[in-house]
Amino acid sequence: MEKNIIVYIETVDNSPVNVSLEALTLAKKISKENNKQVIAVLIGENLDGVTKKCFEYGADEVLYLEESRKELEAVGNALIGAKEKYNPSVIFLGSTINGKDLANIVASEMKTPAFIDVVALKYENNKYLMTLPMYGGNILKEVTFEGDKTLVIAVRSGVCKKEVFEGNSGEVKKEKATEKNLFTKIVDIVQEISESVNLEEAEVIVAGGRGMGSKENFELVKQLAEVCGGVVGATRPATEDEWIPRSHQVGQSGKIVAPKLYIACGISGATQHVSGIMGSNYIVAINKDEDAPIFDIADVGIVGNVMDIIPLMIEEIKKIKS
Ligand SMILES: Cc1cc2nc3c(=O)[nH]c(=O)nc-3n(C[C@H](O)[C@H](O)[C@H](O)COP(=O)(O)OP(=O)(O)OC[C@H]3O[C@@H](n4cnc5c(N)ncnc54)[C@H](O)[C@@H]3O)c2cc1C
């Protein structure tokens, strides 16, 4: 059996985050072809309920390290403990805000590079080939790493579609995380009051671009999202013009999404936007320019003015629902 693959399963409110399950599926696919073992690592408290999900999405074994401290330093220390136990070829994490920090903590402790924001990954000839945004996201470059060190790779959501492996099961090892004095201390956790938007987990996204024309018109995107039971996305120009907060931006320098349905309204289809939506199952595009590049990747294209089409769609969906 070749070296193991460790996947750190980040949890929020005792549930695994989507990108961790995507990383698990990715690891399982690599392991099946290369005779590796996938170890899902859970760190925290009250996570027994998560172990089942780990097996469903591809873990061969679950290492549950009990750690009551929430500091990333404590989580990182536990993850390093897991690394020492299994000597993996790679540690996968989700490229979330915490995941990125954790990847850097772990990699610096292990004196190995951390690859962050990986948007695509292949395993060929015993090497991990990773596609990464570089130069402030202006280019995407495929990189690899020569050597025998354990790699630390934080993958962006959409890197792999999560998949259930029916009947997959394994052993759960529950242990206490090794004690270590921490330099950091969380004194208080404050509930975030600013608007938060979970585009990465959304099944339906209705996104608007510069073609919406104004902040007032952008309300139509929100209304369509509401009747579809979806979440609002946007292109960079729409967020730069403050039609919608930056947290809604989809694309290379925004969020990478993988919904079942993505409706693009007044969006040209620039590479930097499209690279963030390629994981979508079904793309509907509305644009007045029949040559807009977005139509090259859309499953359904509607040539027309968003100000005419969106109200019609809202009306029809309401009729179907009533
Ligand atoms: C480093 C870098 C990172 C970037 N990251 C991102 C990113 O993460 N996300 C992102 O989105 N962009 C990003 N960009 C910007 C990106 O290059 C494009 O400029 C942007 O995606 C274009 O947004 P848009 O489609 O809304 O606008 P435009 O390209 O201006 O397109 C507007 C479209 O609306 C159509 N239209 C106009 N009026 C109507 C109407 N009434 N009805 C129907 N259609 C209409 C037009 O035909 C046109 O196709 C990045 C750029 C750089 C350099």
Separation of CA 268 and ligand 1 centre (Å): 5
Ligand 1 midpoint to CA 121 (Å): 27
Model pLDDT, residue 139 = 80
DSSP type of residue 49: G
Tell whether 235 and 303 lie within a shared domain. Answer: yes
Same domain, 21 and 145: yes
Best CA proximity match to 105, nearest among 144, 145, 147, 77: 77
Identify which of 210, 221, 313 to mutate to test ligand 1's pocket (most ligand atoms within 8 A of the CB): 210
Same domain membership, residue 46 and residue 92: yes
Is ligand 1 within 6 A of the CB of residue 275? no
Q: Containing domain of residue 208, as a range?
A: 204-321
Task: Decide: 140 in ligand 1 pocket, CB within 6 A.
Answer: no
Are 99 and 215 contained in the same domain? no
Q: Give residue 306 CA to ligand 1 midpoint distance, Å.
A: 15
> Could you say which DSSP state residue 255 is in?
B
Give the model's pLDDT for residue 1. 46
Report the separation in Å between the CA atom of 248 and the middle of ligand 1, taken as the mean of its atom positions.
14
- How many other β-carbons are positioned within 10 Å of the β-carbon of residue 311? 13
Alpha carbon of 269 to ligand 1 centroid (Å): 6
- Ligand 1 proximity of 137 Cβ (cutoff 6 Å): yes
Give 124 Cα–ligand 1 centroid separation in angstroms: 35
Long-range CB contacts (within 8 A, 24+) of 183-191: 183/73, 184/71, 184/72, 184/73, 185/71, 186/70, 186/71, 189/70
CA torsion sign, 37 to 23 to 94 to 53?
A: negative
Instruction: Give the model's pLDDT for residue 196.
Output: 64
Q: pLDDT tens per residue, the chain (322 residues)? A: 468 999 999 999 899 999 999 999 999 999 988 788 999 999 999 999 999 999 999 999 999 999 999 999 999 999 999 999 999 999 999 998 899 999 999 999 999 989 999 989 999 988 999 999 887 667 889 999 988 899 999 998 888 888 999 999 999 999 999 888 888 888 887 765 555 688 988 999 999 999 999 999 999 999 999 999 999 999 999 999 999 999 999 998 888 888 999 999 999 999 999 988 988 999 999 999 999 999 999 999 999 999 999 999 999 999 998 8
| Single residue among 157, 176, 195 that ends a domain in this structure | 176
Residue 215 lies in a domain: yes
DSSP E strands, 77-197: 90-94, 114-118, 120-124, 127-134, 139-143, 151-155, 171-176
251 lines ligand 1 (CB under 6 A): yes
CB 285 less than 6 A from any atom of ligand 1: no
**237 C-alpha to ligand 1 centroid (Å):** 6
- Ligand 1 contact via 249 beta carbon (within 6 Å): yes
234 and 282 fall within a common domain? yes
Q: Distance between CA 147 and CA 154 in Å, rounded?
A: 19
- Residues 211, 305, single domain; the answer is yes
Parallel, antiparallel or unpaired: strands 151-155 and 114-118: parallel
Tell me which residue has its CA closest to atom 29 in ligand 1. 268
Q: In what order do the strands lie in the sheet with 204-208?
A: 231-234, 204-208, 261-265, 282-287, 300-303
Task: Please give the number of the atom of ligand 1 that sits closest to the Cα of 208.
Answer: 26
217 and 166 in a common domain = no
Is residue 22 located within the same domain as residue 167? yes
10 Å Cβ neighbour count for 111?
Answer: 7
Looking up residue 314, the CATH number of its domain turns out to be 3.40.50.1220
The three-state secondary structure class of 159 is coil
Can you give the pLDDT at residue 193?
Answer: 53
- Token output for 285: 């595009």
Same domain, 245 and 160: no
99 touches ligand 1 (CB under 6 Å): no
The confidence score (pLDDT) of residue 102 equals 97
Residue 227 domain-assigned (yes or no) = yes
Evaluate: CB of 303 within 6 angstroms of ligand 1: no
Residue 13 burial class via C-beta count within 10 angstroms: exposed 0-12, middle 13-18, buried 19 and up = exposed
The structural domain count of the chain equals 2
| Structural domain includes residue 190 | no
* C-alpha–C-alpha distance, residues 306 and 135, integer Å: 34
Residue 27 lies in a domain: yes
Tell me: do 105 and 227 sit in the same domain.
no
Alpha helix (H) residue ranges in the chain:
18-34, 51-56, 72-86, 97-110, 215-228, 236-240, 271-274, 294-297, 306-321
Q: Is residue 188 part of a domain?
A: no
* CATH number of the structural domain spanning residue 32: 3.40.50.620
